[in-house]
Structure 1
Amino acid sequence: MAVSLQALLGFIAWTLFLLVLMEAIRSWLVLTGAVPANGFSPDNAKLSPFMQRLARAHANCVEGLPIFGGLMLLAVVAGRAAVTDPLAWVLLGARVLQSLIHLASTSPAAVTARFTAFAVQMAIAVYWVVGLWQA
């Protein structure tokens, strides 16, 4: 399997992990009677700050997957994985780091670090677009 596809699988797995974690916690809250089954909003607004950050971290992954994952998939399908393979793991690492920082804190330093991790992903994506665009 191409490195880009491995990283794409990792991106999908990380997104799924965040979703499973959120739903496991939500299930616990329902089973313990802390929240009724119909008491959840998509952004976890009525829940703890951690749960709100978890919802946003998951949403960030879902929002980024079509762009970052699409570029990796496009490269492999087009036979141009040499463009995305060298930085595919870096992109995944930056995505996981962004999520972990998001889960940990919303302090000014954490927000700056989280944005830096996202900026790395954006720079890689722009680099990939240029590389894939070239003949």
Structure 2
Amino acid sequence: MTKTLEQKRAEYAFNIVNEIKKDESCASDFAGLVAKMPSYILTNGLGNTIAFLFSKGKEHQLIVVGLMADWILRINKLNRSENIAGLSNDWIFNINQIKENFNEIIDKLILNVNMSLYTVITNELLALFVWLKRFCDGMIENKEE
């Protein structure tokens, strides 16, 4: 059975949230950040948002940077990255691997893409965050409740 892109996004988001919820200390912060990501990207731009998250450097922020790169460069293959294409499925949960690959992430998502591809990448990530937010809302307990 061939899956639609929307189904692939949903499956990827489900798997990410399923993995994140295992770490209760990170899950709530992750869910909160995922809910804000579309507005961050639309207000500040994709490049500024990624740079901001990396500069903050907390676990949940780096995981979001990693999952954006993973979805675009390894799963969806909107751009080519030999380094990231060869990584295992769980690399985005390894903070050191995200830091090691940050130059590649910035290069392939932001710096060396034309305006058309940059727009496609941005829109694709916005669509992915819709699914991530849906699953976070349903699968991760809110600390405030």
Provide TM-score, normalisation by structure 1.
0.30
Work out which structure has the larger RCO, using CA pairs closer than 8 Å and 6 or more positions apart in sequence: 2
